Amino acid sequence: MKIGIFGGGAVGLLFAGNLGRVYDVTLIVRRESQVRSLMRNGITIHKKGSTTTTKVRAVQSIAAHEKLDLAIVAVKEYDLSSLEDALVKIGSDVPLLFVQNGIGHVEWVKSLPHHDLIAGSVEHGALKENDVTIHHLGEAGTNIALIRGKWGVVEEVVTKCIDSFPFIIQDDFEKMLLNKLFVNVSINPLTALTGVTNGKLTENPHFHLLQRELFSELLLLFPHMEGTISFDRVVDICRNTYQNRSSMLKDIESHRRTEIESILGVLLEKAQKENHFVPIMNVLYRLVKGIEREGLGG
């Protein structure tokens, strides 16, 4: 099976490094320098004191004549639109798996001509050291659910990777993505603004109270999620990833654009349309956007 993975960040490297041990994987990245490094060195994954290196093919674009059996889209949500032509070019019969944070990308994904569309929610923790090296910090799995179409070749991937790099099939893609969104909203902006690791949010009473209030605002927007996810679940995740620095915190520290629009921006639009009062979300959104603007040079 030939799998194409779009995106050379932490998630793209994690998927390529693991799936590349089983399948013929091509990683599609933006920079020629990363292509050269990947072709020369492969992908190195550090995990629990062990190190593995996987050879993969890397390119800047997929040729029109190349046939993929599955494409995994692992770029940030704000980069999706730049891939539209490339995704259309590979053919509407190729299943697409999207592994972005948030829910803002779903309508755009549905607009694509592809027959089989799958949403993914990555539970792994991964830290990118350089263009070819990542640290697999939290070994978990990837939840997947159909947006439309059929599973097709994905069922083979689920079966073949069950022990090494598990995929867990879920029934409802919206609830699956919202579960991850509740966690992201309750952790990422607060860590980005305070500079603390995930676990510290539960120890500091002031941060913890803000987390609880954020969770209440989320239930105001998505009342049907009550009973599906609890605040205790968020606390457990913070404690289980105690030393982890959230992706948004790492983006702020590296002066990169954050995913605040797909995590909080889309929720503020929903709140405005439905006349909900979500003051904590508003303040966190403005603070992250302001810090992001300063870091990106205005």
Annotated catalytic sites, by residue? 180
Helix (H) or strand (E) holding 71: strand 70-73
Tokens of 206: 């002031």
Separation between Cα atoms, residue 4 and residue 67, nearest integer Å: 9
Separation between Cα atoms, residue 120 and residue 109, nearest integer Å: 12
Q: Are 105 and 262 within 8 A, CB to CB?
A: yes
3-state SS assignment for residue 9: coil
Helices marked H in 111-163? 154-160
Q: Give the residue from 270, 294, 293, 292 showing the smallest Cα distance to 282.
A: 270
Separation between Cα atoms, residue 89 and residue 96, nearest integer Å: 13
Q: Are 249 and 188 within 8 A, CB to CB?
A: yes
Per DSSP, 229 falls in state: B
Q: Are 28 and 62 within 8 A, CB to CB?
A: yes
Helices marked H in the chain? 10-19, 32-41, 84-89, 106-110, 154-160, 173-194, 200-203, 205-221, 231-240, 247-253, 260, 266-273, 279-295
